[in-house]
Amino acid sequence: MKILSIDHVSLSFGGLNVLSDVSFDVNQGEIFAIIGPNGAGKTSILNIISGFYRPEKGTVSFNGKDLTHIPADKRAALGMGRTFQNIALYHGMSVLDNIKLGAHSHLNTGLLSALWYWGSAHKEEMQLRRKIEEEIIDFLEIESIRNHPVSALAYGLQKRVELARALAMRPRILLMDEPVAGMNAEETEDMARFILDIKEEYDTTIVLIEHDMKMIMDISDRVLVLNFGQALTQGTPKEVQKHPDVIEAYLGKKK
């Protein structure tokens, strides 16, 4: 069952063509990887799905629903979680608050009930805290740092907190932009394990941009290769690995 459809999407900034006629589908519950050289347009695709960029042509459908007229801030409530290439944690808040922020679109407290607090706001906050502790903090093994300011954390832990925050969004689909960038082998293994656990535990679909080929080949179900804003090919990791265009894009032409 298709959960996400990208249909002939094109995007350009001024004269620069970022994406040209890209189409692909993502099936419910699979891990779908997008790979390609830097500047190929991978992050731009995620940004279009998130609603941050507007494509000039083409449509994005989520769960059968056309997203074209849905603004970025409403897409979170639909179940789209997101992590970012350059960690986008909020340095003014602790780990716990950052995670709670992920759940924003699923909460109901308004301005007045927030000012009064005791009553519905307090109840909501307590429920939220319980849910996060039991489902996310335990799951991602970050109990010891929950009250730390995020700026004090090591890079690997920050990435994990970002993942925790994305999980708090109760995502049906999780868009991850280079989740293991800059990590060593052990941290990469940990992150890969978490991603697989998330998929199994919550039946979340994962769309993943990465450069770490080993990890991609290990955990993805299907792969899309982008180059210069165009889709080169897609298929299972094994198929993509053998594709001559892909080899050429990464290694160059055989002389």
Q: Which residue ranges make up the site for another protein (CB under 8 A)?
A: 13, 43, 47, 50-52, 71-77, 82, 84-85, 88, 90-93, 97, 100-105, 107, 109-111, 113-117, 121-122, 124-126, 129-130, 133, 165, 169
Please identify, using beta-carbon distances, which residue of 134 and 245 lies nearer to another protein: 134
Q: For residues 173 and 162, what is the distance between their CA atoms, to the nearest angstrom?
A: 15
Sheet holding 16-27, edge to edge: 16-27, 2-13, 57-62, 65-66
Sign of CA dihedral 63, 164, 235, 39: positive
Please identify, using beta-carbon distances, which residue of 169 and 240 lies nearer to another protein: 169
DSSP state of 94: B
Residue of 12, 86, 87, 89 whose CA lies nearest to 48: 12
Contact 19, 53 (CB under 8 A): no
Q: For residues 61 and 8, what is the distance between their CA atoms, to the nearest angstrom?
A: 12
Q: How far is the CB of 247 from another protein (least distance, A)?
A: 30
Q: How far is the CB of 243 from another protein (least distance, A)?
A: 29
DSSP state of 23: E
Q: How far is the CB of 211 from another protein (least distance, A)?
A: 18
Q: For residues 36 and 210, what is the distance between their CA atoms, to the nearest angstrom?
A: 8
Q: How far is the CB of 90 from another protein (least distance, A)?
A: 4
Q: How far is the CB of 53 from another protein (least distance, A)?
A: 9
Please identify, using beta-carbon distances, which residue of 110 and 182 lies nearer to another protein: 110
Q: How far is the CB of 222 from another protein (least distance, A)?
A: 24
The structure tokens listed for 19 are 């994406």
Q: For residues 174 and 165, what is the distance between their CA atoms, to the nearest angstrom?
A: 11
Please identify, using beta-carbon distances, which residue of 98 and 234 lies nearer to another protein: 98
Q: How far is the CB of 54 from another protein (least distance, A)?
A: 12
Q: For residues 25 and 177, what is the distance between their CA atoms, to the nearest angstrom?
A: 18
Please identify, using beta-carbon distances, which residue of 88 and 154 lies nearer to another protein: 88
Please identify, using beta-carbon distances, which residue of 229 and 237 lies nearer to another protein: 229
Please identify, using beta-carbon distances, which residue of 116 and 155 lies nearer to another protein: 116
Q: For residues 118 and 121, what is the distance between their CA atoms, to the nearest angstrom?
A: 6
Give the distance, in angstroms, between the CA of residue 8 and the centroid of all CA atoms in the same chain.
Answer: 21
